[in-house]
């Protein structure tokens, strides 16, 4: 039986997959933003002095475990709520998923061992944390690129996905650098402003490339974006995104002078604006792909588990999700403010 493209949303078989799609999408967005900045900090560590590396790790230390919880939630929902799509997506992305997991494991081990290691071994663990961050960030960007083009297998598909991998690394560096602007002081803070400016436009190239390629990946996506009046209604998304890029660049140009004068009034705006760019990019991508999990192949209703199973999972999600949100909010509330060196 072929599931209709837009089933009856008054029935559990209609609204439950939609509810899980929303939760999964928001979980992945939360992961990309929250774990994105600490992946960015890890990538940027190679450009810092040894004393600065300790402060960079301290700026993410209280948060990074909670940040990765969102990845577990998002992938878990894909597995239990959309098993058909999970099998096909993970099958197509077996290698980059394995590389991402290797990178995350390497980061976790290096994070703890670098603190306890002897002085002569500490640079090796710093490099392991840096390498793990690169592997995780690049593989996530590669997977995003493959998702956008519907998991096509060709040289140009892999080249496009690799470009998005590099651009997502830059976007994470932008998040990480703007995070350090808020959490650090002194010379590290000034360096963070420079790192952010160098990352800004490569991140912009990634967003522009996805925006250009996505409509060509599917006629249905092109129709959604370029038909009237959709084009007029959606035009604010790229317009506001461009304005935010311009605003970040303008603030970052002025920050070194302002920081030298002791003016810290605007240090939060680059991070907030970068988060805004991620929100807009997510909104545009979600609009393009809906209702498909795999473009023009599998909708959320075709991939969903039985309504009876989804209802049981839904009850569990209603219990678990507030706990995760509460824990995350509490961690950020307790450890907000300037970072101090971690002690074990």
Distance, in Å, from the CA atom of 56 to the CA atom of 4, rounded to the nearest integer, reads 50
- Cα gap 233→230, rounded to integer Å: 5
Contact call for residues 310 and 16 (beta carbons, < 8 A): yes
pLDDT tens per residue, range 77-107: 999 999 999 989 988 999 999 999 999 999 9
| Cα-Cα-Cα-Cα dihedral sign, residues 297, 241, 272, 166 | positive
pLDDT grade for 47, boundaries at 50, 70 and 90: confident
Contact (Cβ atoms closer than 8 angstroms) between residue 286 and residue 311: no
pLDDT score for 263? 76
Contacts of 77 (CB under 8 A, 6+ apart): 20, 23, 24, 27, 317
pLDDT score of 343: 57
Which tens digits make up the pLDDT trace of 239-266? 999 999 999 999 999 888 887 777 778 8
3-state helix, strand, coil in the chain (%, to 5): 80, 0, 20
Give the pLDDT score at 13. 86
pTM, 2 dp = 0.92
Question: What is the pLDDT confidence band of residue 338, given thresholds at 50, 70 and 90?
Answer: confident
Per DSSP, the three-state class of 292 is strand
């Amino acid at each position: 039986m072929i599931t209709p493209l837009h089933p009856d949303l008054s029935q559990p078989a209609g609204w439950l997959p939609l509810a899980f799609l929303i939760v999964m999408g928001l979980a992945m967005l939360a992961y990309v933003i929250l774990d994105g900045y600490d992946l960015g900090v890890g990538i940027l560590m190679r450009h810092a002095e040894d004393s600065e590396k300790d402060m960079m790790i301290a700026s993410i230390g209280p948060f990074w475990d909670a940040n990765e919880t969102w990845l577990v939630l998002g992938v878990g929902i894909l597995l239990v709520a959309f098993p058909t799509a999970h099998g096909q997506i993970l099958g197509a992305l077996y290698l980059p998923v394995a590389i991402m997991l290797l990178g995350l494991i390497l980061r976790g081990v290096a994070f703890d061992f670098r603190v306890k290691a002897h002085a002569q071994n500490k640079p090796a663990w710093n490099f392991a944390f840096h390498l793990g961050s690169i592997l995780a960030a690049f593989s996530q960007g590669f997977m995003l690129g493959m998702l956008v083009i519907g998991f096509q297998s060709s040289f140009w598909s892999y080249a496009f996905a690799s470009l998005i991998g590099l651009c997502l690394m830059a976007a994470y560096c932008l998040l990480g650098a703007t995070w350090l602007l808020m959490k650090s002081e002194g010379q590290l803070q000034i360096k963070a402003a420079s790192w952010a400016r160098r990352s800004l436009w490569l991140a912009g190239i990634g967003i522009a490339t996805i925006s250009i390629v996505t409509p060509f990946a599917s006629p249905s996506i092109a129709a959604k974006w370029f038909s009237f009046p959709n084009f007029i209604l959606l035009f604010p998304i790229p317009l506001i995104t461009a304005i935010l890029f311009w605003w970040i660049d303008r603030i970052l140009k002025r920050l070194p002078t302002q920081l030298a004068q002791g003016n810290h009034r605007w240090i939060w705006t680059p991070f907030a604006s970068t988060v805004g760019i991620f929100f807009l990019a997510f909104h545009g991508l979600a609009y393009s792909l809906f209702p498909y999990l795999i473009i023009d192949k599998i909708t959320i209703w075709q991939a969903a588990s039985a309504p009876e199973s989804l209802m049981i999972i839904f009850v569990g999600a209603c219990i678990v999700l507030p706990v995760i949100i509460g824990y995350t909010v509490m961690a950020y509330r307790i450890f907000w403010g300037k970072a101090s060196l971690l002690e074990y």
